[in-house]
Each structure stands twice: as C-alpha cells, then as structure tokens.
Amino acid sequence: MSLMREYIDKHYSAEGYRAELVRLISEYKKASKHDFLIYVAAMEKGSFPIAMDMTDSYIISDLLPKKKSRKPLDVYIETPGGSGEAAEVIADILRSKYPEVNFIVSGEAKSAGTILALSGDNIVMTETGSLGPIDAQCSIGRKVVSAYDYLDWIHEKEKELHLSPFDITMIAQISPGELMGVQNSLEYAKDLVIGWLPKYKFKKWTVTEGRKLPVTDDMRKQRAKEIAEELVDHARWRSHGRSLKIKELNQIKLHIDKPKKATLDIINRIQVVIRLLFSSSGAYKIFMTGEDKVIKSAASVSNPPQSIAQQLMAPPAQPFETICPKCGYHHKLYVKFVNDKQIDIELQKQGFSELARDAKVHCGCGQEIDLSGIKNDIEIQTGQKVI
C-alpha cells in the first residue's frame, strides 16, 4: 500500500495531520540526533503569498533556540522561491544558531529555495526531490516573476515589430531603473552561491576525486563559480521552473547525498502528510520544529471595494498549479477575469490549460480533482470574479 493511501484511509482531519507531523519530527530527531525544522509552502496554492519573504525569516528566528546549539540542524524545505535577500537573511539566522546546517529536499526547492539550500553543509535529496536554476524573483506590477525569465521575455519582445495590448500593458509596468534592478538580482544570486559553497559545502573537500591531489581554497572558489554559472544558465535548463534531480546536480559536480536508511521512511512520510495537510485545509505555509509551529492559513474575509486604480492594475488572469493526490502529476492551470483570447494564447504557449467551468480536473490516472475551493480562494484574494 502506498503511503498516500495509508494516510487517506486513516481519515485524519487537518488537526490529525498536524499531530502526525509533530510525531514524525520527534521520530526524525531520535533517528538522526539532529534538530529539525520544517519550512514549506503549498506549491499548488499560487494565489496565496507562498513565496519566500522577509516575514519568513522573522518566524524562523523566533522558532529556533535562543542560544547556539551544539547539534546540527536539518531543514526540510519546499518552496517556489522568492526573495534572494530573504534567503540570505534566513541562512544567516540558521548559521547563528547551529554549527552545521543541512537541507533535505523531497519536494521542490526552486529559485531562492535553491539558493538557500546551497548555503548548507550538505544537501540530502530523495528520488522525488528537485532544485532549480537560480535567480531571485521580482515584482512586476502585482505579479512576482523570475528575474531571468522576465529579462528573457523583454529581450524577445524587443525583436517584435507589433506588440499585443497585453504585452504593452506588461512592459509598461516596469521602469528602466527597475529593469536594471532585475539584472542586479541575477548577479546577487550568483554572488551568494559563490560565497557560500566554498565556506560550507566544500569545506570538507580536501582531495580531488581522481588524482587525490590536495584541494586549495582557490580550487573550491573556482568550483563554486562554475556551479553558479551552470545554475544561472537558463538557456541550458530551458525553464526557470525546471526540476533538477540528483543526476543533473551531480553532473555539474554539486555533490548530493541520499537519505540514510534510518530516516528515509520518515522523510517520505513527512512529504505525504504535508501534501495532505495542505489539501485538507486553508494552510499555505508551515514552519515547525516539533511542538513549536506557525501555520499560515487563508481566511475567507470579504474584500473592501477596489479603487479605480486597483481595478486597472488587476491581473487579467491567474495561473496556478495543482498536484494530483493519486499519481503526483503537476497540472498547470489558469483562470481568467476578462474575456480576452490573447490571454489564452500567451498562457497556453507556456503549457497552461484553462480551468473548466465546473472547476474539476480529470487526471490521466483516472483521478477527478475538485478545485472549486482553490477557485473560490483566488476570487477572494484578487477581489475578481472568474469568468
């Protein structure tokens, strides 16, 4: 029986899943002799503030011990990414509390999540875990997007003679100064990685793999620079959202560890329980060290009337992703707030499909997924009616 089916058959409530996470953290601590932190966001709830930001650093700082621990800390991370500055602050907080910090990736840790993971002494990944190309995300109008992808999109549009009204609206939302800020954010991401890898992950790299020659500080720095260049090369990976597995990461000489036998089942269970907790509640971010936890949840509150300016800045559509609870397939979907065929063309080029009117998705594995809750959440968050 799969772990997903095992837990579904137990008919836990959201509170039951939270209690199970507490139990699993306790089991992990006993097996590893390390402290443990869960820091995850609901990747499928893109209409909520799931991106890594500075408020995350405040919560993490509050949950960790006030005095520096002698134990290593293992951080279970799932995030779509977000602020590079927040990643740096979180890394500094973790380092101020622990002599060794390791990251466990069994889901996705993308963009700034990858940057943060590269601050670790070790990166432990399961077969389902993935990192991604590195860059920071930036705000364009009311949207948060990949800095690299936005620059690439701008450069492509510069080559076109005629732009659609949709493209003109999007380009008009950023100034030349902001565009330079986007470029700087890419360099900032690289600088963080180049600084962290020699200091932490490569500090125990003392001899070369082939000829067993002594490894110098310059060799560690050069390897870090090569890896950073590889990870920022989106032309190679084709997409900001590309999932880089153990094989690809080892190919660029970023050594990835697999979980130890004593903790593998616990990690797999943590991943499943997190998925079920997100799907059974309004939770969209979880910070947990055991009994100490902060869970951010959506509240269904009425929206105040929007001003004319707010209405004009409202996005014409909302893309999001959802994961099939049966087979784990990622469905890329979108809803529209205005009837504009150009929106369909643009989003379908990116691999998104419009959500059906009944808000149901029929997965290829035979599972029917009811997304009416997510549709309602999007309408609440945006203050707009899905057409």
Among the listed residues 384, 283, 375, the one whose alpha carbon sits nearest the alpha carbon of residue 334: 375
For residue 251, give every residue at least 6 positions away whose Cβ sits within 8 Å of its Cβ, in sequence order, or none.
none
CB 136 within 8 A of CB 84: yes
Average pLDDT over residues 54-74: 94
Output the average pLDDT for the chain: 84
> Does residue 176 carry a pLDDT above 70?
no
Q: For residues 208 and 284, which has the higher predicted lDDT (pLDDT)?
A: 284
- Looking at residue 241, its pLDDT comes to 56
For residue 64, give every residue at least 6 positions away whose Cβ sits within 8 Å of its Cβ, in sequence order, or none.
37, 73, 93, 94, 97, 289
Among 58-72, 102-116, 123-137, 239-253, the least confident range: 239-253
CATH code for the domain defined by 3-136+179-297 = 3.90.226.10
Residue ranges covered by each domain of the chain:
3-136+179-297, 308-382
Average pLDDT over residues 80-104: 94
374 pLDDT band, cuts 50/70/90, is confident
> Does residue 312 carry a pLDDT above 70?
no
Among 125-139, 180-194, 249-263, 265-279, the least confident range: 180-194
- Looking at residue 217, its pLDDT comes to 93
Q: Is 60 helix (H, G, I), strand (E, B) or coil?
A: helix
CA 332 to chain CA centroid, nearest Å: 15
Instruction: Write out pLDDT tens, residues 285-305.
Output: 999 999 899 999 875 433 444
CA dist., res. 320 & res. 181, Å (int): 26
CB 146 within 8 A of CB 240: yes
Q: For residues 48 and 274, which has the higher predicted lDDT (pLDDT)?
A: 274
Average pLDDT over residues 252-276: 95
CA dist., res. 228 & res. 112, Å (int): 13
Instruction: Return the beta strands (E) in 226-347 as ranges.
Output: 283-288, 293-297, 317-323, 330-336
Among the listed residues 14, 36, 8, 71, the one whose alpha carbon sits nearest the alpha carbon of residue 267: 36
- Looking at residue 64, its pLDDT comes to 95
